[in-house]
Chain A
């Protein structure tokens, strides 16, 4: 855990929500509003937050599946934020994406073999390999993710959700990446299958030295997989720290509220539940100052609703964006 493989600085992504009569953008949705983070080699950075807080958009931005509105992304020492599609192509090998919905992430008209072999061929990873060699490689990848080689001739609809997610992982691994963004890879799966996929991802990380940006809205899963955790609220990171500090020593009131919402399997234990008031404000019209202040239990009038708090390092490695800690 030394060199950062991914370094994102001041990322902003705005979507046009409304255009005027002449097609000029009028209203913007600030999906990601100035986020900086790094992922070190071999590390898993967990990214949590409510639905709509911009975590998926951020994940797509760092892989340049979206163009950035502002900010800079360095991958493996190279600035990729301004690269053209053609310049990005060789780098795509090194960074891959695992999708949330295993049902729409596989082309229904391609067999498993066609899906995975296409990824290999696009990057010419096997040169002029024969079909037999390709099959061997695909079989290899399938067994790596816990599927059987004979599955390669089937179509996606013949598999369960968990199996499909494994195929998606095999497709990402086919190009031998170093860094993978996993966008809620388990939230569409049954609970029993969730653990299998998470453990598969951890095994792969160990064997292949992968780095993950692991996006989820479930803190308990993130705690299990992550080295560090970033908590997002309305397009901004409000707290960033080692996984253990987030869980044992969270500082931001939003993080504390999220943690108190984790269900406890022991019914006899009484827990204090911090229930937030109101809904997430619309990112079309975010609140002034600290965007969390309308729901914050400790917000101070005159300060929190005026000034946006910067992300400060309060103890080494522990960053919080709050005036009051």
Chain B
């Protein structure tokens, strides 16, 4: 690792801010459930719902005489502690963001770089596979799995999301690899008698990583959103359990009367996405010596 890369990264204010955001949401996901003040699924209707059935707001937005000490952000529509749900929901969202994206990036890079570099029949076969995977309707698979398996494990969701999302990355890295492998420094490496593996790992891969990092960070955002759609279909997080995506969707129903139920998870998702994007671009620039 080049110490200058780290120095360039440190100088980039946006990238540092992104890294702070990423660390913050990651810690939320890792430690949130441990510090949550209440059971996220317990309905305290008498405490958190008003007489007319509307949920109690956060502490700074309550009428005179409304109690509920210790419920910092108030309750949701059925009287569950909002703060505890956000803290628990973060774990699922962050797991999806990390694991599903990791699967997609690894697969996409592997397939894209290898097919671009080796070409021929292998390239043809693999790229047709990409076409096939791209043509698979996401929902169809999700519903099928849900029908076949009663309560699919959470890891099934990561694997499914990962295996359906690597295609764009594979295409982009393939075309970049096609370009890089014809450059003279790759031929120079071969003329020096380096093994194919060495040429691939030392000379091709580092030079196609830039676009992969950027696509990878946008994938994180997509994964979090798609997870909420999946949980709606019965894959992934099931009610009453929470994830930021599913809380966002439930909150939408209360738009106008209790906007905060939508705004809280939305802010956290935006922080995650924004953080990963800024950090990703910072990483890309930091590893490019020309910057």
Contact = CB atoms under 8 A, between A and B. Distances in A.
Interface string A200-236: 0000000000000000000000000000000000000
B188 A108 contact: no
Interface string B58-75: 000000000000000000
19 contacts: A85-B196, A96-B191, A99-B187, A104-B183, A104-B184, A105-B184, A107-B203, A108-B207, A108-B288, A109-B207, A109-B289, A110-B202, A122-B194, A122-B198, A123-B192, A155-B289, A157-B289, A168-B188, A175-B192
A118 B290 CA distance: 21
B188 A88 contact: no
A96 B194 CA distance: 13
Contacts of A292: none
B193 A93 contact: yes
Contacts of A251: none
A110 B194 CA distance: 15
Interface in A82-114: 85, 88-93, 96-97, 99-101, 104-110
A105 B185 contact: yes
A217 B207 CA distance: 31
Interface in B239-270: none
Interface residues of B, number: 21
Nearest to B196: A85
A137 to B, nearest CB: 15
A7 interface: no
A65 B191 contact: yes
A99 B190 CA distance: 13
A119 interface: yes
Contacts of A321: none
Contacts of B193: 88-93, 122-123
B113 to A, nearest CB: 15
Contact of A92 (B185, B187, B191, B206): B191
B287 interface: yes
B281 to A, nearest CB: 17
A304 interface: no
Contacts of B288: 108-109
B187 A118 contact: no
Contacts of A178: none
Interface of A: 60, 63, 65, 85, 88-93, 96-97, 99-101, 104-110, 118-119, 122-123, 155, 157, 168, 171, 175
Contacts of A97: 187-188, 191
Nearest to A89: B193
Given A92-B191, A118-B192, A157-B289, 15 more contacts: A96-B191, A96-B192, A97-B191, A99-B184, A104-B183, A104-B185, A105-B184, A105-B185, A105-B188, A106-B188, A107-B189, A109-B288, A123-B193, A155-B289, A175-B192
Contact of A107 (B185, B191, B196, B287): B185
A92 B192 contact: yes
Nearest to B188: A105
Contacts of B290: 108, 155, 157
Contacts of A60: 187
Interface in B195-211: 196, 198, 202-203, 206-207
Contacts of B188: 97, 99, 105-106, 168, 171
B183, B192, B203, B287: most-surrounded residue (chain A CB, <10 A): B192
A188 to B, nearest CB: 11
Contacts of A123: 192-193
A97 B207 CA distance: 22
A157 B191 CA distance: 22
B1 to A, nearest CB: 12
A15 to B, nearest CB: 13
Contact of A63 (B191, B203, B206): B191
A142 to B, nearest CB: 17
A107 B187 contact: no
Nearest to B194: A122
Interface string B123-143: 000000000000000000000
Contacts of A118: 192, 194, 202
Nearest to A102: B184
B208 to A, nearest CB: 11
- Leading 10 A-B pairs by shortest Cβ distance: A92-B193, A105-B184, A155-B289, A89-B193, A99-B184, A107-B185, A97-B191, A104-B183, A104-B184, A109-B206
A122 B198 CA distance: 10
Interface string B275-291: 00000000000011110
B289 A108 contact: yes
